[in-house]
Amino acid sequence: MAFVIKENVRLHSSVCRLAIEAPDIARKAQPGQFVMVRSDEQAERIPLTVFRANPHAGTIELVVQEAGESTRRICAMPAGAEILDVLGPLGEATEIKQYGTVVCVGGGVGIAEIYPVAAALRQAGNRVISIIGARSLPLLILEAEMRQASDELLIATDDGSAGRKGFVTDILGELIGWQPPDIVFAVGPLPMMARVAEATRPAGIKTIVSLNAIMVDGTGMCGSCRVSVGGKVKFVCVDGPDFDAHQVDFKELSQRQKRFDLPCKLYCRHH
């Protein structure tokens, strides 16, 4: 199977959006699922959320933030190039049903991960209020797509260059104060998701987060993506990535993530 890149568009200096020929995955992928991508023999296999699946064109779209070697390699591939390996769709799909009023929160590249969830929830008849945020306007991605997927779109930037100055959780807190939603979905950096959980906990609002644990195989074999949820051991790649935010041990998860911040030379295959 050749995973040919049909399009590679820069969304900003360090984020690209790829359309890849992958008809089998495009037919099966559900909101919230991801693929394990290996660009070439030298690259590592990494998890990326299916941003959009287009079964008619036989393509899937991925939005990739350049974080390190593997993501940089993927974003550098031009249209026409072939990705070595795309495995999926993996993980449990997000539970899409009629909840009522839903708030979808996306931070940074997490906006690309919350988009398919917001779009599907709206299509299922929910009232979708989305809150998206970034450090500043040039880093804010997919605003038009999120506007289309939502009944209402609210924006926060750290420096106030777009929308409200502050964090997505500031807006969420105010929203809960005057119009508590029936459920909240959130994707973004771990500290953001932990803060979302704390914002909704006192009001008892069900909150689902998509955890971005570090993965190696993506199929439940290696244990790398282990997380404690409600005191039980879960694997993000097969039991998630969605979990009840009020049950997740964020402290333990962020400590586990930090083990990969040790000098790359000690761990990475590409050194």
Least Cβ distance, residue 15 to ligand FAD (angstroms): 7
Of ligand FES, ligand FAD, none, which one does residue 260 interact with (CB within 5 to 8 Å by kind)?
ligand FAD
What's the closest the beta carbon of residue 70 comes to ligand FES, in angstroms?
A: 14
Q: Which does 64 bind (CB under 5 to 8 A by kind): ligand FES, ligand FAD, none?
A: ligand FAD
224 binds, among ligand FAD, ligand FES, none (CB under 5 to 8 A by kind): ligand FES
Q: How far is the CB of 175 from ligand FAD (least distance, A)?
A: 25
Which helix (H) or strand (E) segment holds residue 23: the answer is: helix 23-28
CB of 236 to ligand FES, least distance (A): 6
Partner that binds at residue 63, options ligand FES, ligand FAD, none, CB closer than 5 to 8 Å by kind: ligand FAD
Which of 165, 166, 110 has its CA nearest to residue 142?
A: 110
Residues 201-230, mask of contacts with ligand FES (x by CB under 6 A):
--------------xxxx-xxxxxx-----
Calculate the CA 133 to chain-centre distance. 13
Nearest-angstrom CA–CA distance, 113 and 106: 8
Residue 271, Cβ density class (10 Å: 0-12 exposed, 13-18 middle, ≥19 buried): exposed
CB of 209 to ligand FES, least distance (A): 17
Q: Judge whether 146 and 118 are in contact, CB under 8 Å.
A: yes
The first and second tokens of residue 238, run together, are 């097969």
Distance CA 252, CA 41 (A): 33
Does residue number 233 form part of the binding site for ligand FES (CB under 6 A)? Answer: no
**String of DSSP letters for 163-217:** SEES-HHHHHHHHHHHS--SEEEEES-HHHHHHHHHHHTTTT-EEEEE-----SS
SS (H, E, C) 145-176: HHHHHCCEEEEEECCCCCCEECCHHHHHHHHH
- Of 70 and 126, which has the nearer Cβ to ligand FAD? 70
Whether 57 and 26 have beta carbons less than 8 Å apart is answered as yes
When asked if residue 61 is in the footprint of ligand FAD (CB under 6 A), the reply is no
Is residue 106 a contact point for ligand FAD (CB under 6 A)?
Answer: no
Using CB under 6 A, list all residues that contact ligand FAD: 34, 44, 46-49, 63-65, 67-71, 109, 112-113, 212-215, 241, 257, 260-261
Using CB under 6 A, list all residues that contact ligand FES: 215-218, 220-225, 235, 237
